[in-house]
Structures are given as structure tokens and as C-alpha cells.
A and B are shown apart, each in its own frame.
Chain A
Amino acid sequence: MIWQLDFLLCVLVLICAIAAINIKDLLSAVIILGAFSFFMCLLWAEMGAVDVAFTEAAVATSVSTILFVGAIIKTTRRSKD
């Protein structure tokens, strides 16, 4: 547990979360959400929960990104609000 590394990863997670909510282009939002999941994975691995980090890396950064991209291809890429 290195608190500086924890703090850095926490700041990156917050930046990615706020950017993914605020951005208008939905494809970019999906990619930023993948980066968010990756930083969460690093944070969990750093805090000692390796199994959770493994699940996050396997599910959130690959499969859910593919599902979101598939959903965007079937709908529209621009956000309406």
C-alpha cells in the first residue's frame, strides 16, 4: 500500500469518470469507460484484491466495451442531450 500511488490512481479514475459522463461523442465515452475500468483494475491490484482486479480486467475492459460498441453501432453515435 503506497498512498501516493493510490492517490494518483484515484485522481485518474475520477478524471476518467467525469470525462466519460460529460463527453458528447458516445464512442469516445465508451473508450474512456474502458480506461476507467483499467485504472480501477490497477487500483484493485494495488490494494491487494487481485481476483477482483482480474475480473475487472477481463470483463469490463474487453467484453463490456465490445457490447457498448455493438449497441452504438445499432443506434446513434452522437449524444442527444
Chain B
Amino acid sequence: MLTKIYENLIVQTVCRIMVPFIQVYALYVIAHGHYSPGGGFQGGVILTASLALLFLAYGQGAVISRMGRRITIVLCGLGVFIYAGIGLLCLLLGGNFLDYAQLAPILGVSIPRARSLGILGVEIGVGLTVMSAMYSIILDIAGSPPAE
């Protein structure tokens, strides 16, 4: 188990400097998922990689104190809720599932803009779910069991 921390000033400093840049890049990947390669899945995995880097450098307590197991479950459900909620909202407004054109009257924009915003919302939901699910898998495999 990776519970024993090997204190190393260089590794910890480099990780502390790198983690914000990795997270900003992950947000960039999520936000530009419908224009360029990338998307919710890849952005979520990069967010998980930043948390895993913190986990490897500082040990389990540092990441658990920043993002606990309970908020992981909440974020996992919230991502699925965003995805399915956008899809069902389109269904309720008379279109097909995830038919973003039906969102145009609600958002008050043109139909192509509504499609773009709808895809962005879905990507954010996918990113949240992927990040929290992979983070919880890493915690369960590499970390120590939770103290009940």
C-alpha cells in the first residue's frame, strides 16, 4: 500500500507546481471537446492523473483531505445526473434523447449555438463522472481501506 510516504523535497515541489497546470489543461480539454480532439472522458482522466500525482507525492491523507470519499460519490452521481438530465430535458421538450436543438427556446439562443452548449453540458457531466469514478478506483486499489 502506498501509505508510507518517502519524503523527497524535489519530487514534492515539482508535483506541487505541476498539479495546477495539469488541472487547467484538463479543463481546457473538457471545454474544447466539441471543437478539437479530447472531450469529457479525456479531460476527466487528466484530472484524475493530477490527483494521482498528488497521491503519489504526498500520500493518501493529503488527497483524502482535499477530496473525500463521500464527495467522490456525490460527484459521480452528479455527472450522470447532468448527462441524463440534459437528455431527458430534450425528450420532455418534444425531441429525441439528447436532441440539443430543443434547448434553443430555453437558452434563448439560435439552434447551432444551443447544440454547442448542449454538447458542452454533456461533456462536463461525463468529465465529472469519469474523474470521480477513476479517482475512487485508484483510492481503492492503491490506498489503505477506509477506517469504519
Contact = CB atoms under 8 A, between A and B. Distances in A.
Contact of A67 (B39, B42, B56, B142): B142
A62 B46 CA distance: 9
A54 B42 CA distance: 7
A51 B138 contact: no
B45 A70 contact: no
Contacts of B134: 63
Contacts of A62: 45, 49, 52
A53 B37 CA distance: 9
A2 to B, nearest CB: 20
Contacts of A70: 2, 138, 141-142
B46 A58 contact: yes
Nearest to A59: B45
A63 B2 contact: no
Interface residues of B, number: 18
B142 A73 contact: yes
B52 A66 contact: yes
A71 interface: yes
B1 interface: yes
Contact of B45 (A63, A69, A71, A73): A63
Contact of A63 (B1, B38, B138): B138
19 contacts: A51-B38, A54-B37, A54-B38, A54-B42, A55-B41, A55-B42, A58-B45, A58-B49, A59-B45, A62-B45, A62-B49, A63-B49, A63-B134, A63-B138, A66-B56, A69-B142, A70-B138, A74-B1, A74-B141
Interface of A: 50-51, 53-55, 58-59, 62-63, 66-67, 69-71, 73-74
Interface of B: 1-2, 37-39, 41-42, 45-46, 48-49, 52, 56, 134, 137-138, 141-142
